[in-house]
Amino acid sequence: MTEIENVVVIDGLRVPFEPGQTILEAALAAGVWIPHLCHHPDFAPHGSCKVCTVVVNGRNGSACTMRALPGQEVASATPEIQERRRTLLQMLFVEGNHFCPGCEKSGNCTLQALAYDAEMLTPRFDHFYPNRRLDGSHPDVLLDLDRCILCELCVRASRDVDGKSVFAVAGRGGDCRIVVNSPTGRLGDTDLAIEDAAAHVCPVGAILPKRVGFSVPIGARVFDAGPISEVSPHLARTEDGR
Amino acid sequence: MSAPAPLPAPAPRRRLRVATASLAGCFGCHMSFLDMDERLVGLIDLIVLDRSPLTDIKHPGPCDIALVEGGVCNAENVHVLRELRRAAKVVIALGACAVNGGLPAMRNHRGLEDILRKVYEERPDGGAGIPDDPELPLLTDKVHPLHEVVRVDYFLPGCPPSADAIHKFLTDLAEGRTPRLADALLHFD
């Protein structure tokens, strides 16, 4: 009997995978870029942002949660799918208060970098301009929910890595928001420490370590070096470092 | 067989008529426009300025392009923007404030009355009270990007967009190409 190869085909490229890997994990390990936002290799897949949505054998699915299986034909970089991703990013921008010129995360921000990569020139939709909480009560960490995109990376990091469950999501629909697990609801009254993974995992600058904002100047930050599709820290590198 | 007649010389390209305006912005985008420096000399072969703070013409005539910096924060901004939309074939939102409200829109999640009281009354010296001169344009409840008020044809983000980005955008348009910013020219900050 012929053995079935552990290979998926992504945009015509043959990508090998290890049994148990998701499509996104296999792609990134092979150096094939699929845009993603709520995925992080250190945490359990979540599938909330849908930026990594691909078409697998004609059906839509999140590449970060779908297991790679032999015989899968995956479409990712088609104009139609890229347009959908751009629309998702535009919705994320108008649902929060994302003012890049006033944000110290600029240049290190995954949402911003993905928008550049998608050639997003405008948020296109009417802005929500939501009224969200700013919590400066913690001595070392700032919580500015203006920028939260509900990716739940902080929830997963605090629960699964730090073992503290400092963050959780409450509410539904438009009222959905990150809450803090303390009697007062303030970050300063939790046992979050600056060394915790949750203090550093936020992709957009809703959770920021204090007093380090401009230690790396604008122009020398992670995504100033090139498009996220080339410099993403999650992407496998070839031997010459590219 | 006689040689084909030579093609007629192409007609000289008509210069595009460009209006510019600054609404709720800081004039940084206009400064960035001037940062084109010596390239302005080449650009002036392609465009001619109509209404603009650079010409001090107050009202636009029929234009090809309106470059509009800043968001919409008061009744005068609405009036100027609508006037430009009527006058121009193509409206370009120039810079972060025009594209998404920018830093002025950071006032949107505080009430307007609260902001005015904080700025004019709650000061160590007691303040002089909220200005109520009838010549002052009425403030809008929120600061809005241009596309929430009029139809916008192109968006050029950045705070401000670099001189290189503005030059690329304008020359693309003047030479009949769809404007496109490569990765190095595309910035939101």
Burial of B131 (0-12, 13-18, 19+ CB in 10 A): exposed
The mean pLDDT of chain A is: 94
Domain count, chain A: 2
The closest CB to that of B109, out of A112, A119, A129, belongs to A129
Residue that is last in its domain, among A33, A54, A77:
A77
- DSSP labels, B104-163: GGGGGGS-HHHHHHHHHTSSTT--------TTSPPEEEEEE-GGGTS--SEEE-SSSPPH
Residues A144, A134 contacting (CB under 8 angstroms): yes
Please list every residue in chain B whose beta carbon sits closer than 8 Å to the beta carbon of residue A226. Answer: 183
Q: How far is A5 from chain B (nearest CA, A)?
A: 38
Share of chain B above pLDDT 70, in %: 98
Give the pLDDT band (50/70/90) at residue A108. Answer: very high
Considering only CA atoms, which of B8, B150, B145 is closest in space to residue B88? B150
Cα–Cα distance between B110 and B87 in angstroms, integer? 35
Tokens 């070392």 correspond to A140
Tokens 């902001």 correspond to B115
**pLDDT at B21 (0 to 100):** 98
Phi first, then psi, for residue A115 (nearest 5°) are: -65, -40
**The pLDDT of residue B67 is above 70:** yes
CATH number for the domain spanning A158: value is 3.30.70.20
Q: Mean of the pLDDT values across residues A210-237?
A: 91
The answer to whether the complex's ipTM is over 0.85 is yes
**pLDDT at B102 (0 to 100):** 95
Whether residue A2 is contained in a domain is answered as no
Residue that is last in its domain, among A35, A54, A77:
A77
Give the pLDDT band (50/70/90) at residue A241. Answer: very low
Whether residue A131 is contained in a domain is answered as yes
Q: How far is B180 from chain A (nearest CA, A)?
A: 9
For residues A71 and A94, state if they share a domain: no
For residues A98 and A161, state if they share a domain: yes
Q: Which residue of A has its CA nearest to B185?
A: A116
Whether residue A221 is contained in a domain is answered as yes
Whether residue A238 is contained in a domain is answered as no
Phi first, then psi, for residue B59 (nearest 5°) are: -130, 140
| Beta-bridge partners for B16 | B47
Give the pLDDT band (50/70/90) at residue B125. Answer: confident
Give the pLDDT band (50/70/90) at residue B14. Answer: confident
Give me the domain span that covers residue A203: 84-225
Residue A173: DSSP 8-state:
G
**pLDDT at A242 (0 to 100):** 44
**pLDDT at A35 (0 to 100):** 98
For residues A108 and A60, state if they share a domain: no
Cα–Cα distance between A228 and A147 in angstroms, integer? 19
CATH number for the domain spanning A71: value is 3.10.20.740
Give the pLDDT band (50/70/90) at residue A238. Answer: low
Whether residue A1 is contained in a domain is answered as no
Amino acid symbol at A136: G
For residues A89 and A180, state if they share a domain: yes
For residues A118 and A100, state if they share a domain: yes
Rounded (10°) angle between helices A110-117 and A79-95: 140
**CA A171 distance to own-chain centroid:** 21
Whether residue A173 is contained in a domain is answered as yes
**The pLDDT of residue A58 is above 70:** yes
Query: B16-104+142-177 maps to which CATH number?
Result: 3.40.50.700
Cα–Cα distance between A206 and A202 in angstroms, integer? 7
Residue that is last in its domain, among A77, A104, A120:
A77
For residues A95 and A211, state if they share a domain: yes
Whether residue A242 is contained in a domain is answered as no
Please list every residue in chain B whose beta carbon sits closer than 8 Å to the beta carbon of residue A213. Answer: none
Residues A109, A202 contacting (CB under 8 angstroms): no
The closest CB to that of A227, out of B110, B183, B189, belongs to B183
Whether residue A239 is contained in a domain is answered as no
Spell out the domain ranges in chain B.
16-104+142-177
For residues A122 and A206, state if they share a domain: yes
Q: Which residue of A has its CA nearest to B148?
A: A126
Q: Which residue of A has its CA nearest to B101?
A: A99
